[in-house]
């Protein structure tokens, strides 16, 4: 019996196909301008790769900010619940989940059964999110996946005073103009994200083990700075971006038993 979880976020859309608790296939695609189109494309791509059609799916759970526009979903569940469930499946020892996506970041506290006990969320602006890092990568003239490497080569840290994406971008531009090393600026930016995220973790209380999900988990400099701040060793799953869709698929499986 195959079920699906779909997570349409602000920047990426993921589908996970699950068969008897095992991941059959998954896809990650950019969301683009239309979340409905992205949802259809992600689902069809995953089904085609698995040699299935929509009629083979017993149940579909949708999550993410675009979940309302996914008309083929049987149920819609919040990202908090889905990321929590996905993280628990990936490692049952996890009690704290940090999800940093494109436009929001959240910290979720889990029970030993993977149930959400508490959470803290920043969805007001791009500060401290993946979008913030994308804008800064552009200002520093480096590819997104080169940002962490740049930061790791820093000799020093240039602290960034503004957290607002718009103000921080002009601050970075003027720091570059003043001749400060881009490496040191990059480190300051990663520190700023880690500070902000650590504040959210402390608001709900740090309990180990800690896992990071969402695309920003692929940025080793954010993870490194967070490890230092939180004095822990954060677990980074192999595919951190699919945690929400995976949780949605597991919740879909719950519906049919």
Say whether residue 66 binds Mg ion (CB under 5 A). no
**CA-based nearest residue to 105, from 200, 5, 205, 225:** 200
14: nearest Cα among 228, 254, 256, 246? 246
Stretch that binds Mg ion, among 6-14, 66-74, 186-194, 248-256 (CB under 5 A): 6-14
Compute the half-sphere exposure of residue 123: CA atoms within 13 Å on the CB side of its CA: 12
Our measurement of the distance from residue 34's CA atom to the centroid of its chain's CA atoms, rounded to an integer in Å, reads 20
- Least distance (Å) between residue 50 CB and ligand ATP: 22
Q: Return the sign of the alpha-carbon dihedral for residues 87, 94, 118, 59.
A: positive
Per CB under 5 A, does 101 bind Mg ion? Answer: yes
Residues that bind ligand ATP (CB under 6 A): 9-12, 31, 64-65, 101-104, 130-131, 133-134, 144-145, 214-216, 218-219, 241
Q: What is the 3-state secondary structure (H, E, C) of 135-167?
A: HHHHHCCCCHHHHHHHHHCCCCCCCCCCCCHHH
CB nearer ligand ATP, residue 215 or residue 247? 215
Nearest distance from C-beta of residue 180 to ligand ATP, angstroms: 23
191/241 with CB nearer Mg ion: 241
Q: Taking contact as CB under 5 A, which single stretch among the options 4-12, 46-54, 205-213, 223-231 is the one that binds Mg ion? A: 4-12
Per rule CB under 5 A, count of chain residues that contact Mg ion:
2
């Amino acid at each position: 019996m195959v079920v699906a979880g779909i997570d349409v976020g602000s920047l990426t859309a993921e589908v996970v196909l699950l068969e008897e608790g095992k991941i059959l296939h998954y896809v990650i695609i950019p969301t683009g301008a239309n979340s409905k189109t992205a949802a259809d494309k992600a689902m069809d791509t995953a089904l085609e790769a698995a040699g299935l059609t929509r009629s083979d799916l017993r149940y579909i759970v949708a999550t993410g900010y675009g979940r309302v526009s996914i008309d083929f979903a049987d149920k819609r569940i919040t990202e908090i619940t889905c990321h929590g469930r996905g993280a628990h499946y990936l490692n049952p020892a996890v009690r704290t989940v940090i999800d940093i996506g494109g436009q929001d970041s959240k910290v979720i506290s889990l029970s030993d059964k993977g149930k959400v006990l508490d959470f803290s969320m920043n969805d007001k602006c791009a500060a401290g999110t993946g979008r913030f890092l994308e804008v800064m990568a552009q200002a520093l003239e480096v590819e997104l996946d080169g940002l962490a490497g740049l930061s790791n080569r820093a000799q020093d840290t240039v602290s960034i005073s503004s957290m607002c994406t718009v103000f921080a971008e002009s601050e970075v531009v003027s720091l570059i103009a003043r001749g400060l090393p881009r490496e040191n600026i990059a480190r300051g930016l990663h520190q700023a994200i880690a500070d902000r995220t650590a504040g959210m973790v402390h608001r709900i209380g740090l309990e180990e083990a800690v896992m990071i999900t969402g695309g920003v988990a692929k940025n080793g400099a954010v993870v490194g700075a967070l490890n230092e701040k939180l004095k822990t060793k954060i677990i980074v799953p192999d595919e951190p971006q699919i945690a929400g869709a995976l949780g949605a698929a597991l919740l879909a499986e719950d519906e049919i038993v």
